[in-house]
Amino acid sequence: MELIKELEDKLKRVKQELSSHKIELHQTRGYLQCILQNTNDMIFATDVDGILVSFSKGGEKVLGYTWNEIGGYPIKELSASPEEFQEAMELAERQGSAVRLEFPFKHKNGSTVYCDVSLISLTNTKGQRVGTVGICRDITEWKKLQDELMRIDRLAEIGRIASGIAHEINNPLAIINEVAGWADTVVDDAEGLKEEDRRELKKAINDISEQTRRCRNITHQLLGFVRPTPPEKVSFDLYKLLKETVEFLKPELKYSTIEVVLDFPPEAVLIKSDPKMLEQLFVNLITNAIHAIKEKDPEKGIIRIKARRMDDELEILIEDNGIGIPEDKQDKIFNLFFTTKPPGKGTGLGLSICQNIINKLGGSIGFESTPGEGTTFRLILPYKE
Ligand SMILES: Nc1ncnc2c1ncn2[C@@H]1O[C@H](COP(=O)(O)OP(=O)(O)OP(=O)(O)O)[C@@H](O)[C@H]1O
Ligand SMILES: [Mg+2]
């Protein structure tokens, strides 16, 4: 009798323990579920073969896939470098864990998402491996910031170099300019010169002065990268400036049949902005267009510059029928030092300078390009202010 009582009590205790374990298990499961649902990180679990068996809501945000779309898939297929990811999974299996690994993943929209990944090998109470858990933090933005910091660092370096170059170059430029002025007076006073020769000489001297001025502007713009010079805004006719810029570039067009078509209304359009900065911007964009055409077919080259007024803004389009920009390069062309030109032909500075200028002037710059057919750069500039 007593034995039965004792067994009954024992059974009762075991039942109580079991139900409290059940509650605990339920709570733990709820707790884990809560972490999986609410974390911004991508947390996943796989079986021993690396097949996804669980995936956090954060993971859906990071990679753009829902659980229904990827459940049952090998996790390595979501990585942009599956073989390396597999090696990392194997490393975690051998060592128990592998932490702080940087891996690129493929987002559903085709972009690359960089993650800081920790992998932990899971074993059951008998010590058998049952799978892997991964905790992945999206560090794409952070990486962009790092790249930006490196860019700024290089920018500062350029600035230091530019300061030196500007200093050294501005002095001879000033002398060239002075000598050109003196030559102009000599030509004016020279007796016995044919009128036609005098005109040609004066035009050549004028070209020397204009090009010297352009060089000075370029060195000043380079300096503007480090010493943030505010724009000097004045009122001027933008169309006139565009025409003059194309004139400047005539030497670049020599020996080619590239046609430059200016397509804007005949009346002046007064704009309050910095003419030196804008000139630099146009020179860079038109020079790029000339290069793109020369690379394709200079015989049929045409650059069309269109401008039109919109409400408070001006739209300027610079269209070329050159080589175009390959799709995989399109997101890089504004990067400092990005160039597809051979050494000595391009430094990859032009578009960075353009971006810098347009930011200072409160406008925007964008482009559309069809590889093999041509490119159109679109500038938006505010009128006033
Ligand atoms: N109109 C265009 N058509 C085709 N590709 C272009 C055009 N404009 C720019 N690019 C591409 O963008 C790259 C970067 O242009 P960017 O002006 O910054 O440098 P760059 O012309 O190579 O050198 P730099 O201007 O410093 O002499 C070019 O090398 C070229 O590949
Ligand atoms: Mg350029």
Residue for token pair 């459940």: 71
Rounded to 5 degrees, φ, ψ at 87 are: -60, -40
Task: Give CA–CA dist 201/187, Å, rounded.
Answer: 7
36-138 is classed CATH 3.40.50.970 = no
Q: What CATH class is the domain 232-385?
A: alpha beta
Residue 279 confidence (pLDDT): 87
Find the ligand nearest to 343 CA. Answer: 1
Task: Give CA–CA dist 352/148, Å, rounded.
Answer: 13
Dist. CA 355 → ligand 1 center (Å): 13
Residue 225 confidence (pLDDT): 59
Strand segments (E) across the chain: 42-46, 52-55, 97-106, 112-123, 129-138, 234-237, 259-263, 270-273, 302-309, 313-320, 364-370, 374-382
Would you say 278 and 241 are in contact if contact means Cβ atoms under 8 Å apart? yes
| For ligand 1, mutation pick of 252, 282, 351 (most atoms within 8 Å of CB) | 351
Pocket of ligand 1 (CB under 6 A): 284, 288-289, 292, 320, 322-325, 333, 338-341, 346-352, 375
DSSP conformation letters of 248-296: HTHHHHTTS--EEEEES-SS--EEEE-HHHHHHHHHHHHHHHHHHHHHH
Would you say 303 and 289 are in contact if contact means Cβ atoms under 8 Å apart? yes
Residue with CA nearest ligand 1 atom 29: 339
Which of the four pLDDT bands, split at 50, 70 and 90, describes residue 50?
Answer: very high
Across the chain, mean pLDDT equals: 88
Residue 248 confidence (pLDDT): 74
List, for residues 233-256, the tens digit of each pLDDT value: 899 998 899 988 888 787 677 667
List, for residues 250-290, the tens digit of each pLDDT value: 767 766 789 999 988 878 888 899 998 898 899 889 999 99
Helix axes 140-189, 195-226, angle to 10 degrees: 150
Average pLDDT over residues 330-339: 89
Average pLDDT over residues 18-47: 86
Residue for token pair 């954060």: 58
> By C-alpha distance, which of 349, 353, 358, 348 is closest to 379?
358
Dist. CA 339 → ligand 2 center (Å): 8
Task: Give CA–CA dist 360/352, Å, rounded.
Answer: 12
Residue 221 confidence (pLDDT): 66
Per the confidence metrics, is the pTM higher than 0.85?
no
Task: Give CA–CA dist 275/271, Å, rounded.
Answer: 9
Task: Give CA–CA dist 4/12, Å, rounded.
Answer: 12
Pick 139-229's CATH classification: 3.60.20.10, 1.10.287.130, 3.20.20.70, 1.20.1600.10.
1.10.287.130
Task: Give CA–CA dist 35/58, Å, rounded.
Answer: 10
Residue 90 confidence (pLDDT): 93
Q: Is the dihedral of CA 246, 248, 253, 255 positive or negative?
A: positive
Dist. CA 372 → ligand 1 center (Å): 15
Q: Is the pLDDT of residue 42 over 70?
A: yes
In the chain, where the domains are located: 36-138, 139-229, 232-385
Q: Do domains 36-138 and 139-229 have the same CATH topology?
A: no
Hey, what amino acid is at 320?
Answer: D
Dist. CA 283 → ligand 2 center (Å): 9
List, for residues 91-104, the tens digit of each pLDDT value: 999 999 998 789 99
Provide the 3-class DSSP secondary structure of residue 93: helix
Question: Where is average pLDDT lowest: 37-51, 93-107, 204-218, 315-329?
Answer: 204-218
Atom of ligand 1 nearest to the CA of 352: 18
